[in-house]
Copies of this chain bind each other. A is one copy, B any other.
Amino acid sequence: MFGAGDVRVENVPDPVIQQPTDAVVRIVRACVCGSDLHPYHSMAESSTGRRMGHELIAVVEETGADVTTVRPGDFVVVPFVYSDNTCVFCREGFQTSCQHGGFYGNGRVGGLQAERALIPQADGTLVVVPGVDPDAASDSLLASLLTLSDVYLTGYHAAHLARVRPGQTVTVVGDGAVGLSAVLAARTLGAERIILMGRHTDRTDLGVEFGATDVVAERGAEGIARVMDLTNGEGSHVVIEAVGHMPAYEQSYGVVRPGGVISRVGVPQYESAPVGFASLFGKNITLTGGVAPVRAYLEEAIPLVLDGTIEPGRVFDRIMPLADAPAAYAAMDSREALKVMLTV
């Protein structure tokens, strides 16, 4: 990406192993993230550009001398943050704060919207998908596995941190791919009622198939009133905020019940927000969420995809070649596509 709206596909040298803990992988599927649209709207022009992409399923091509848990030929899920999976924060389940981890597209580490990619901390980062030949697998299976790299497990993280329990009411603010994933995750955790706030019918229809029991198209004060009506005036035990803009945050504390939880996984496009007596404190609202440590959830999630228990890949509504990445960004930006899968 060379600036707002300016995505180009360029040839760069193939990545090579630089450290003994690195691996090089080749793409099976990558995709464009809702969070990639933030710089797509706002990035300052840059002559060097920024390498994009952080979601990938891939085949290992080469490993450094110290790598022991994956080997060439393995089909793997690449979490959107790399991590050693052994430091104190990793062991506590927050691999996105790994003391030796980091994000893609920074420094020596390129983006994952690419034919080949360098993966640091390969032992800690990569998780093998057992018994699947990526060349023979269906598009729908590959799509679901790809969501474990970020989008589904980001929705899951929100529901997990909010400790969604059977019988609860969960409101999801936002009908993007993360919001729909959060609906599916809340359902797997036993939420009884799931209210999806969104106004794109094609998306909320998928939300209903994922488990939403109610759809609220209204926003702001009207949307809040609708959710309060639906919950007998009590509000929602859990609100998952999957947008990242202030109106979504305001909607969240408007519909959460006393003692309830707001769990954010939309990357906040603000730094300060109401948290005082009138918004959170007076009602004992808990605010949780953050950058999802999807690595923590992969071992549990892969079998659920393989046995068909969940089909989170349904958030992908288009497949395009990597060479058409600029068109993929444009399609998501214009909301023609919910989420675009990229292939070679």
Contacts and interface: CB of A to CB of B under 8 A. Distances in A.
Nearest to A292: B284
A344 interface: no
Given A92-B259, A94-B258, A281 B272 contact: no
Interface residues of A, number: 38
Contact of A275 (B257, B272, B284): B272
Contacts of A234: 88-89
B272 A274 contact: yes
A285 B290 contact: yes
A246 B88 CA distance: 30
A257 B92 CA distance: 11
B277 A267 contact: yes
Interface string A279-303: 1111111111111010000000000
A264 B277 CA distance: 11
A92 B235 CA distance: 13
Contacts of A282: 290-291
A96 interface: yes
A155 to B, nearest CB: 15
A188 to B, nearest CB: 21
Interface string A251-280: 000000111000010011011111111111
